[in-house]
Structure 1
Amino acid sequence: MAATVYRLWEQDKVELSASIHSLCTPRLNAILSARGYDTKLITVFHLLNHSSGLWNHADDDYIKTVLANPEHRWTREEQVRLAVAKAGPQGKPGAQYLYSDTGYILLGDIIERLTGEPLAHVVRREMRFDRLGMESTWWEVIEPRPSGVNPSARQFMDGIDVTQIDATMDLYGGGGLMMSARDQATFMRSLFENKIFESPRTLREMLQAGPHEGSEIYRGGVAAGAIDGREVFSHLGFWGTAVYYAPSPGVSVAGFTTDRMFRPALVKLVEKVLGASPGVEDS
């Protein structure tokens, strides 16, 4: 999602400093404004690095609601309404890092309005999935399942089978993509090795820390950190995925666990691999 926004930025289709007031759907703008969010001060950059001050609709209460009615078909507007019903502004825009899937839902809306195309189509094209050979990657609900792809793994949450939860609960920007661990590693490596952006300058812009509190741990769509003194960038998926990239020595590692409760163990394993010999193979 974030990389797609930066692709549009390098094509001069969006400014990172632009206010979301005129970019997002007027109805969503009205919902946010009515709760006290000043959308004229919230920028695209704030959404990308989670410094917008937006409440995260995807909190524990949301998960409980989803589990209570797993067949419900969610809309983007419903999820934004959940966020504003729970809380107003969590601080001034650009003041501090505060993770919010709601911000990425708004980015999904903005991408669709800027391009006039469905989010899944834009992401597939701009992220070059087909050119990169990511044959097991597709957007649930919106795109057909590719032929020949292995069956999807069952998913559990604290031992509860959540495989059949309607995909719309996390479809509009905070999630939605299905892919193999290999495709995750391929994408991360391609992103950092300039096979997606037209110019190396775009990746530098994406990884630039903002002036807000907490910017050292999260950039434009990826977490930043270090393992054994080596810089690493990563992203964790809610249902139990983890993907990392270490610029030196240029290693991409991804993994998946069928139960989210074991994600910490997966992260520990991935970080152990990255802390090993510089000559470790891509996984």
Structure 2
Amino acid sequence: MKKIFKPILLGFLFLPSLVYTQSIETKFQAIIDSVYASNQTSIGIMVSVESPERNISWSGAIGYSNLTPKTKLEPDQPALIASNTKTYVSATILKLVENGKLSINQPIKDLLTARTSHLFIQGGYNVDAIQVKHLLSHTSGIVDYANQAYMDFINANKTYRWTRDEQLEWAINIGPPLGKPETVFSYSDTNYLLLTEIIENITKQSFYTAMRALLQYESLGFNNTWFPTLEDQPEGTKPLAHQYWQEYNWNSTKLDNSVDLFGGGGIACTTHDLASFAYKLFNNSIIKDTSVLNLIYTKIPIKNSEPSHYYFGLSAYTYNGLHAYGHGGFWGTRVLYFPKLKTSIAVYVLERDKRGLINEIIEDMIGLLNN
């Protein structure tokens, strides 16, 4: 009788966990269903939650992946994550630090190509004073190429194919430095274009190939993550969801993705891959050395402006009294990791002008998880 009783007892012990998981996942879907019902101009919403200690790995979706024709959005469709890519670039830099190939305190002069170094010197920058950590934290004083004139050019030339060098030149042509390193915080995609050039110069590979290897896409299961037009779409990955910005009448699939491709943005992935990446990054699956991983929380003191909430490729957030770390993206994407809950949440809203819904969704989901 003991041999019969033990499996039955174990089954009953496991049952509450199973019921909890099924119940909370149903509630997750109900949250996004409710938000969408009140905000159908958001076009589509996708969410993933990764919380292994709660036995939760869930993805849900509601709405459409395309306005014309209206195609039902699926939970495992990828989309462009835009500036969420910066966390991947930051993690790659820190992996090079862990591997002894780089220091965050190194001046960028000898880490860039001679062409780029000369370009920035001619633009008034002291490339001996700007260090890797200044690029990671947007405290370099480097001008952002993605200004209003850049947006207007894109609007008039939607299929123009950019190069990274052209975007760096655009930044230099805008005007002089914003200030010396550590005197001003100014969010600038230009910083991350320089970081991908540094990755290439150190690894002797294209930055996206080096990132794939150093971040261990294959072994860690990031099977639906890639840089469109630079890499082939992974086999079995579903078509990209269309992302919109009605104010400009933009559809992400109608723009040449080179407008945001070379490190400031560029990655496409599913919400599951993004949430999984965040969870595994902050739990030492990618960067094993905790002292190196903790560099990602470095806050550079700023002399001439208010302190920023930006670290190395991520920002600090608070929801329902809980601290989180993550990043957002231009098209209405965000991923957050909540250390206390050991949980990551990725949210995509397919209409940029409705990206404010992300806060509502995350607050409601964290409320469930924190009960």
Q: Which TM-score bucket, shorter chain as reference?
A: over 0.9
Q: Which region of structure 1 is more displaced relative to structure 2, 130-139 or 41-50?
A: 130-139
1:162 lines up with 2:252 in the alignment: yes
Q: What are the residue-to-residue correspondences of 1:86-97 with 2, within 5 Å? A: 86-97=174-185
Letter in 2 for 1:7: K
Amino acid corresponding to residue 48 of structure 1 in structure 2: L
Matches within 5 A, 1:30-45: 30-45=118-133
User: C-alpha separation between the residues in 2 aligned to 1:118 and 1:59?
Assistant: 26
TM-aligned CA deviation for residue 215 of structure 1: 5.0
Matched with 1:274 is 366
In the alignment, the residues of structure 1 paired with residue 161 and residue 117 of structure 2 have an alpha-carbon distance, to the nearest angstrom, of 22
* Contact map agreement 2:349 2:357 (CA 8 A) in 1: no
> Can you give the 5+ residue segments of structure 2 that lack an aligned partner in the other structure?
1-88
Amino acid of the structure 1 residue aligned with 2:106: A
Pick aligned residue for 1:257 from 337, 349, 352: 349
Counterpart Cα distance in 1 of 2:93 and 2:307: 19
Q: TM-score, normalised by structure 2?
A: 0.72
Q: For residue 207 of structure 1, report the CA deviation from its aligned partner.
A: 1.0
2:234 is aligned, of 146, 149, 167, to 146
* 1: CA distance, partners of 2:111 / 2:210: 17
Matched-pair identity in %: 33
Corresponding position of 1:116:
204
The alpha carbon displacement at 1:248 in A equals 0.5
CA–CA distance in structure 1, aligned partners of residues 367 and 292 of structure 2:
28
Counterpart AA for 1:211: P
Aligned: 1:189 with 2:279: yes
- C-alpha distance after superposition, 1:132-165 (max 9, x if no partner): 2111111111211111111110121124323221
Distance 1:35 1:135, change over 3 A: same
In structure 2, the partner of 1:61 is 149
Give the Cα separation in 1 of the matches to 2:275 and 2:307.
24
Query: Does the 8 A contact of 1:251 with 1:274 survive in 2?
Result: no
Of structures 1 and 2, the one scoring higher in RCO (CA 8 A, sep 6+) is 2
When the two structures are superposed, what TM-score results if normalisation uses the length of structure 1? 0.94
Alignment-mate amino acid for residue 92 of structure 2? T
Q: Encode CA deviations 1:56-95: one digit per residue, 9 max, x unaligned.
A: 1112321221121111111111101111111211111022
Aligned residue for 2:161? 73
How far is 1:169 from its partner?
1.4
CA deviations over 1:170-225 (Å, ceiling 9, x no partner): 11111111100111100000011111002111111111222225555010100013
Query: Matched residues in 2 for 1:223 and 1:47: separation?
Result: 15
- Could you tell me which residue of structure 1 aligns to residue 215 of structure 2? 127
Alpha carbons 1:83, 1:102 under 8 Å: kept: yes
Q: 1:108 offset after TM fit, Å?
A: 0.5
Could you tell me which of 261, 285, 289 is aligned with 1:199? 289
Change (3 A) 1:130 1:215: farther
**How many pairs were matched up?**
279
Rounded to whole Å, the distance in 2 between the matches of 1:247 and 1:82 is: 39
Does structure 1 retain, via aligned residues, the 8 Å contact 2:226–2:269?
Answer: yes
Task: Return the letter of the residue paired with 2:282.
Answer: F
Q: Provide the rounded CA distance (Å) in 1 between the counterparts of 2:369 and 2:215.
A: 30
Structure 1 runs of 4+ off > 6 angstroms? none
- Write the deviation string for residues 232-283 of structure 1: whole angstroms up to 9, x where unpaired: 101001112110110001110001111211112223322332344326xxxx
Q: Secondary structure at the match of 1:84?
A: helix
Residue 120 of structure 1 deviates from its aligned partner by 0.8
Higher-Rg member (1/2)? 2
